[in-house]
Amino acid sequence: MPKVSVSRSRLLQLRDEGQCSVVTPLGTAMLEIQGDLAMEIASDGCDPGDPRVSVLQGQQIFRFGLLDLHGTSREATLYIGQKQRMVGKLVKLDVPMGVLHFDTATQTAQLQDIIRYRLIFRDRPLPIM
């Protein structure tokens, strides 16, 4: 198995710049959804004029929902489009996970973040009323 050195300098830089993905009061969290999401996307892909579409490092990113965290109760609601919502909870991982970015040219890995919590949505989506 190949070995690479892991640097945490990028993690420290991201923390200083305030850049994270799904941020909760307890830090960055992983989103876990059981099943499929029904999304309204054109068959030819994402429309660059769509406000839900943005570009990060040359890749299109599609914002599929709005996450609402309910204070200190560790409950969450994920609104998907205009028609569905999912109710879930914030749970601590037994073992924290590291997010690594591998650079094949230099054979190095940068530690991007440490995830200690996950948002779990186990039930079927509910209609928005």
Q: How far, rounded to the nearest angstrom, does the alpha carbon of residue 123 sit from its chain's CA centroid? A: 19
Task: Indicate the pLDDT class of residue 17, thresholds 50, 70 and 90.
Answer: low
| Per-residue tokens: 3 | 């070995």
- The DSSP call for residue 48 is T
| Per-residue tokens: 14 | 């991201």
Q: What angle do CA 119, 95, 37 make, to 5 degrees?
A: 25
Residue scoring higher pLDDT (89 or 73): 89
Structural domain of 60: 5-34+47-127
Instruction: Please state the φ and ψ torsions of residue 114, each to the nearest 5 degrees.
Output: -120, 125
Q: For the chain, how many structural domains are there in total?
A: 1
Q: What is the pLDDT of residue 41?
A: 55
Instruction: Please state the φ and ψ torsions of residue 117, each to the nearest 5 degrees.
Output: -135, 155
Residue 41 within any structural domain of the chain: no
% of the chain residues with pLDDT over 90: 2
Which class for 66: exposed (0-12), middle (13-18), buried (19 or more C-beta within 10 A)?
Answer: exposed
Residue 120 within any structural domain of the chain: yes
Residue 80 within any structural domain of the chain: yes
d(CA 5, CA 111): 10
Residue 114 within any structural domain of the chain: yes
pTM of the model: 0.62
Give the mean model confidence (pLDDT) for residues 28-47. 65
Residue 76 within any structural domain of the chain: yes
